[in-house]
Amino acid sequence: MHVVYPVVVAALLFSIGVYGVLARRNTILVLMSVELMLNAVNLNLVAFDVWLRDVLHGGQVLTLFVIVIAAAEVGIGLAIVLAVYRNRRTIDLDRLRELGEPVEPPVGDRG
Protein backbone atom coordinates (compact mmCIF):
# COMPACT_ATOMS: atom_id res chain seq x y z
CA MET A 1 0.00 0.00 0.00
CA HIS A 2 1.42 3.29 -0.98
CA VAL A 3 2.09 5.69 1.85
CA VAL A 4 -0.14 8.32 0.27
CA TYR A 5 -3.35 6.56 1.22
CA PRO A 6 -2.90 6.52 4.97
CA VAL A 7 -1.47 10.05 4.85
CA VAL A 8 -4.46 11.37 2.95
CA VAL A 9 -6.79 9.61 5.36
CA ALA A 10 -4.88 11.14 8.24
CA ALA A 11 -5.13 14.57 6.68
CA LEU A 12 -8.88 14.13 6.24
CA LEU A 13 -9.22 12.92 9.79
CA PHE A 14 -7.29 15.94 10.98
CA SER A 15 -9.50 18.24 8.96
CA ILE A 16 -12.61 16.70 10.41
CA GLY A 17 -11.12 17.28 13.82
CA VAL A 18 -10.45 20.91 12.96
CA TYR A 19 -13.99 21.29 11.73
CA GLY A 20 -15.30 19.81 14.92
CA VAL A 21 -13.26 22.16 17.03
CA LEU A 22 -14.57 25.09 15.06
CA ALA A 23 -18.19 24.03 14.78
CA ARG A 24 -18.98 22.52 18.17
CA ARG A 25 -19.96 24.67 21.10
CA ASN A 26 -20.08 21.87 23.60
CA THR A 27 -16.71 21.50 25.25
CA ILE A 28 -16.89 17.72 25.35
CA LEU A 29 -17.46 17.55 21.65
CA VAL A 30 -14.56 19.89 21.09
CA LEU A 31 -12.47 17.56 23.21
CA MET A 32 -13.50 14.65 21.05
CA SER A 33 -12.60 16.55 17.92
CA VAL A 34 -9.16 17.16 19.31
CA GLU A 35 -8.91 13.41 19.88
CA LEU A 36 -9.63 12.96 16.20
CA MET A 37 -6.79 15.27 15.35
CA LEU A 38 -4.44 13.38 17.62
CA ASN A 39 -5.46 10.11 16.06
CA ALA A 40 -4.74 11.51 12.66
CA VAL A 41 -1.24 12.17 13.94
CA ASN A 42 -0.98 8.63 15.19
CA LEU A 43 -2.07 7.24 11.87
CA ASN A 44 0.52 9.36 10.16
CA LEU A 45 3.28 8.28 12.49
CA VAL A 46 2.56 4.60 12.20
CA ALA A 47 2.25 4.77 8.44
CA PHE A 48 5.55 6.62 8.11
CA ASP A 49 7.24 4.25 10.51
CA VAL A 50 6.26 1.28 8.43
CA TRP A 51 6.99 2.97 5.16
CA LEU A 52 10.41 4.15 6.28
CA ARG A 53 11.28 0.84 7.85
CA ASP A 54 12.72 2.80 10.75
CA VAL A 55 14.99 0.49 12.74
CA LEU A 56 14.60 2.65 15.82
CA HIS A 57 10.83 2.76 15.35
CA GLY A 58 10.73 6.35 16.34
CA GLY A 59 7.28 6.71 14.85
CA GLN A 60 5.81 3.92 16.85
CA VAL A 61 7.37 5.13 20.05
CA LEU A 62 6.05 8.57 19.47
CA THR A 63 2.64 7.12 18.74
CA LEU A 64 2.63 5.44 22.11
CA PHE A 65 3.53 8.66 23.79
CA VAL A 66 0.85 10.54 21.89
CA ILE A 67 -1.72 8.05 23.04
CA VAL A 68 -0.63 8.55 26.61
CA ILE A 69 -0.69 12.28 26.21
CA ALA A 70 -4.14 12.14 24.68
CA ALA A 71 -5.38 10.10 27.60
CA ALA A 72 -3.93 12.54 30.06
CA GLU A 73 -5.41 15.43 28.21
CA VAL A 74 -8.83 13.89 28.19
CA GLY A 75 -8.55 13.15 31.88
CA ILE A 76 -7.59 16.66 32.83
CA GLY A 77 -9.98 18.09 30.29
CA LEU A 78 -12.97 16.28 31.68
CA ALA A 79 -11.99 17.26 35.19
CA ILE A 80 -11.88 20.89 34.15
CA VAL A 81 -15.18 20.58 32.33
CA LEU A 82 -16.68 19.17 35.49
CA ALA A 83 -15.33 22.03 37.53
CA VAL A 84 -16.70 24.52 35.05
CA TYR A 85 -20.05 22.87 35.02
CA ARG A 86 -20.17 22.91 38.79
CA ASN A 87 -19.41 26.60 38.88
CA ARG A 88 -21.28 27.80 35.83
CA ARG A 89 -23.94 25.20 35.02
CA THR A 90 -22.93 25.21 31.38
CA ILE A 91 -20.20 23.76 29.26
CA ASP A 92 -20.82 25.77 26.12
CA LEU A 93 -17.50 27.24 25.13
CA ASP A 94 -18.88 30.48 23.79
CA ARG A 95 -20.97 31.20 26.84
CA LEU A 96 -18.03 31.25 29.20
CA ARG A 97 -17.25 34.90 28.80
CA GLU A 98 -16.77 36.32 32.23
CA LEU A 99 -13.12 36.78 31.49
CA GLY A 100 -12.50 39.08 28.57
CA GLU A 101 -11.72 42.61 27.65
CA PRO A 102 -14.00 45.00 29.48
CA VAL A 103 -16.13 47.27 27.32
CA GLU A 104 -14.25 50.54 27.02
CA PRO A 105 -15.56 54.06 27.11
CA PRO A 106 -14.99 56.04 23.90
CA VAL A 107 -11.42 57.06 23.16
CA GLY A 108 -10.51 60.28 24.88
CA ASP A 109 -7.77 62.63 23.82
CA ARG A 110 -5.03 61.32 25.99
CA GLY A 111 -1.82 60.06 24.58
What does the alpha-carbon distance between residue 38 and residue 59 come to, in Å, rounded to a whole number? 14
What residues between 23 and 82 interact with other proteins by CB under 8 A? 25, 27, 30-31, 34, 37-38, 40-41, 44-45, 47-49, 51-52, 54, 56, 58-59, 61-62, 65-66, 69, 72-73, 76-77, 79-81
| Closest approach of other proteins to the CB of residue 89, in Å | 10
DSSP characters over the chain? --THHHHHHHHHHHHHHHHHHHH--BHHHHHHHHHHHHHHHHHHHHHHHHHHT-SS-HHHHHHHHHHHHHHHHHHHHHHHHHHHHHHHS--BGGG--SSSPPPPPPP-S--
Binding site for other proteins (CB under 8 A): 3, 7, 10, 14, 17-18, 21-22, 25, 27, 30-31, 34, 37-38, 40-41, 44-45, 47-49, 51-52, 54, 56, 58-59, 61-62, 65-66, 69, 72-73, 76-77, 79-81, 83-84, 86-88, 93-94, 96-102, 104, 107, 109-111
